Amino acid sequence: MPGRKWYWIAGAVGVVGAAAFVYFLVTGIGGLGDGLQQMLAPGAAEITLEKPGTYTIFHEHESVFEGRYYSSPEVVSGLSIGVVSSVGGEPAALRRPGANATYTLGGRAGVSILEFEIAEPGRYRISAAYADGRSAPKVVIAIGHDFMGALLVTIFGGIGIMIASLGGAGAIIAITYIKRDRAMSAPKKQA
């Protein structure tokens, strides 16, 4: 007959799984903001885009950039953005994102406004200006590669860890209970 220690082992599996779930989510979501490159608009910046694929441009309406805090309305009208390859001078085609994405990460809050695709990694010049030429309000723009994909992997990965650990703990409890019940219900052998 299995000992009661297996119930404690099941509890430990559940606790370790819960801790792994929290750690995975905190480190995963915390790291998402690090993958976003920021710039101040209106203005221009040259940034390195390291992977081919889809990039999303976010308006960070709550942000810290170069040691200064910026807050702006969530919707800023009249801001034109351009993305041009520094090597070939080819402009990237900008489009509305396929899905609206918002985030709040470590004092930063953003909303997706545009996306573009690049075939070749390299240096790109991002420019942003108001159509009427004004210089205010100053807003922070952030550019990220496959931000939503990384967010979904983090969320569903964490959920997977939690389901696996709770399932494992539940299985240990069920098997232990069944084996103990059978052992206690078995007729005792006479000597």
| pLDDT tens digits along 20-69 | 888 888 777 766 666 788 999 999 999 999 889 889 999 999 998 888 99
Return d(Cα 94, Cα 121) in angstroms, integer. Answer: 17
* pTM for the model: 0.70
Per-residue pLDDT at 97 exceeds 90: no
Topology of 36-146 in CATH?
Jelly Rolls (2.60.120)
Return d(Cα 164, Cα 141) in angstroms, integer. Answer: 39
Apex 124 CA angle, 29 and 104, nearest 5: 20
Q: Where are the domains of the chain?
A: 36-146
**Phi, psi dihedrals of residue 170, rounded to the nearest 5°:** -65, -40
Structure tokens at 180: 């103990």
Per-residue pLDDT at 191 exceeds 60: no
Return d(Cα 191, Cα 185) in angstroms, integer. Answer: 18
The reported pLDDT for the residue numbered 90 is 84
User: Considering the chain, what percentage of its residues have pLDDT values greater than 70?
Assistant: 94
Per-residue b/e over 104-116, b at no fewer than 16 CB within 10 Å? ebeebbbebbbbb
Tens of pLDDT, residues 132-169? 888 888 999 999 887 777 777 888 888 898 899 989 88
User: Considering the chain, what percentage of its residues have pLDDT values greater than 90?
Assistant: 26
